[in-house]
Amino acid sequence: MKPRIGWIGTGVMGRSMAANLLKAGCELTVFTRTKEKAAPLFDLGALWAESPARAAAASDVVFLTVGYPADVRETVLGRLGVLAGFRQEAGRAAPPTVVDMTTSSPALAAEIYAAARAQGADALDAPVSGGDIGAREGTLSIMVGGDENVFRRIVPLFEALGSKVVYQGKAGMGQHAKMVNQILIAGNMAGMCEALLYARRAGLDMDKVMSSVAAGAAGSWSLSNLAPRILRGDFEPGFFVEHFIKDMKIALEEAARMELRLPALDLVRRLYERLAAQGGGRLGTQALIKALDGLRKDDPL
């Protein structure tokens, strides 16, 4: 018998992820701040809850993918949060489990884990990589922190969402792994956008040069999936600029705590903040090329 699933957050990625669980035959209860955004899920058979607590009371496992650590805290630990909902229903066959798939703070993940365990529940932090394409196609990479026995119990659900599911270690380690992912993406995105600008100024045929470099050592997910969007002027979000800025800030804060300096990441963060200040916060991360294209050689960074 499949567990009853709660799903909180139906943004760019969350709606597709929830739909994949429904298509896998799961019973799903959904809460999101804007009910209309969940309409496609209702068409697939999802039920509606009035709060995270209501969704949790009707579920054995609750997934969430929201915006910021403050949203995670309120959704899980708030008065009408997931853990409050878990307390409302007794007699479960197994401990209820909250799975945070938001990219958030490792320290907050550890705090949620401790709060869940204190009331007899389980918690995993399980951020993902793969963007809107991976969410839609169920090919996300999922990085999981928490107790390994809980991870193994939830693996069949993760497999409906992603093609690569890896247990990273104790609570918070999933979020640390995601910070590694975001540091890599930040440098790669800046390099890709600068390369596209160089190619255009040099007068190269953009399709030809992209075909050449993508087949060599410079190939990457971003080059294959986001460069074509840039070339056709598509800056719709697979992942919001403002959320990427949040992620880079978390990574820099964690690095500082570990007495580690990441100057390249700090530079890319400032470039993205320039883009956000120009009104690009709700664009996709590939829109970084707009901020770079507007730079003059004497502009401070």
Helix axes 173-202, 241-257, angle to 10 degrees: 120
State residue 2's pLDDT score: 79
State residue 90's pLDDT score: 55
State residue 294's pLDDT score: 79
Element (H, E) at 263: helix 263-275
Residue spans of the domains in the chain: they are: 5-170, 177-293
Q: Would you identify the CATH topology of the domain 5-170?
A: Rossmann fold (3.40.50)
State residue 91's pLDDT score: 61
Q: Are 18 and 10 in contact (CB under 8 A)?
A: yes
In tens digits, the chain (301 residues) has pLDDT values of: 678 999 999 988 999 999 999 999 999 999 998 898 899 999 999 999 999 999 999 999 999 999 999 999 999 999 999 999 998 765 666 799 999 999 999 999 999 999 999 999 999 999 999 988 999 999 999 999 999 999 999 999 999 999 999 999 999 999 999 999 999 999 999 999 999 999 999 999 999 999 999 999 999 999 999 999 999 999 999 899 999 999 999 999 999 999 999 999 999 999 999 999 999 999 999 999 999 997 877 777 7
From CA 258, how far away is CA 264, in angstroms rounded? 17
Given the structure tokens 């990273």, which residue do they identify?
Answer: 168
- CB atoms inside a 10 Å sphere around CB 163: 13
Hey, which CATH number is domain 177-293, 3.40.50.2300, 1.10.1040.10, 3.40.50.2000, 3.40.30.10? 1.10.1040.10
Q: What is the 3-state secondary structure (H, E, C) of 87-112?
A: HHCCCCCCCCEEEECCCCCHHHHHHH
State residue 238's pLDDT score: 87
Q: Which residues contact 5 (CB under 8 A, 6 or more apart)?
A: 21, 26, 27, 28, 29, 59, 60, 61, 62, 63, 157
Q: What is the pLDDT of residues 33-43, one digit of tens each?
A: 889 889 999 99
User: What positions carry a catalytic annotation?
Assistant: 178
Q: What is the pLDDT of residues 132-145, one digit of tens each?
A: 899 999 999 999 99
From CA 153, how far away is CA 164, in angstroms rounded? 16
State residue 128's pLDDT score: 97
Given the structure tokens 């009035």, which residue do they identify?
Answer: 50
Please list the residues that pair with 142 across neighbouring strands: 128, 165
Element (H, E) at 124: strand 122-125
From CA 168, how far away is CA 143, in angstroms rounded? 6
State residue 296's pLDDT score: 77
Q: Which residues contact 127 (CB under 8 A, 6 or more apart)?
A: 100, 101, 102, 103, 104, 142, 143, 174, 175, 177, 178
State residue 3's pLDDT score: 87
Report the predicted TM-score, pTM, of the whole model to 2 decimal places: 0.93
From CA 280, how far away is CA 292, in angstroms rounded? 13
